Amino acid sequence: MEQLPPQVREQVAQLQQTRQQAQMLSKQKQQLEMNLKETERALDELSKVGKDTSLYKSVGSIMVKTDREDAKENQEERRENLNLKIKQIERQEERVNKQLEELQAKIQDVLQSQQPSGEAG
């Protein structure tokens, strides 16, 4: 790496940083998707529960009684928020992946231009 020009070293460092950012976004998206599945399971279970069934929700370290419609409304709002966050992360992933491709192309161009012509590969 010391043999590379400073510009290329900087681009390689930026490439590594961008890869880490892509991995972080992927992990965040996975976590949100797991939360979304959990929320959808909760909504599914709520649809099976009778209107007179006692429901409780966790508030901090205590359980508070709630009615079915309120619980359903909260879960639907949660699902909507999770879907928005997932779409936001997907847009970020697209931008980061495009950056990765551009950086890789720049680095390859510089490295190829430094190779002596006529060298067999």
- What pLDDT is recorded for position 1? 58
Assessment of whether the complete model's pTM goes beyond 0.85: no
Per-residue confidence at 56, pLDDT binned at 50, 70, 90? Answer: very high
Q: What is the CATH number of domain 6-113?
A: 1.10.287.370
Q: Are 31 and 112 in contact (CB under 8 A)?
A: no
Q: Are 18 and 93 in contact (CB under 8 A)?
A: no
Q: Are 107 and 11 in contact (CB under 8 A)?
A: yes
74-118: pLDDT as tens digits: 999 999 999 999 999 999 999 999 999 999 999 999 888 877 765
Classified as helix, coil or strand, 63 is: strand
5-46: pLDDT as tens digits: 888 889 999 999 999 999 999 999 999 999 999 999 999 999
Distance of CA 120 to the CA centre of its chain: 42
Distance of CA 53 to the CA centre of its chain: 37
Where in the chain are the domains? Answer: 6-113
Give the mean pLDDT of 49-70. Answer: 92
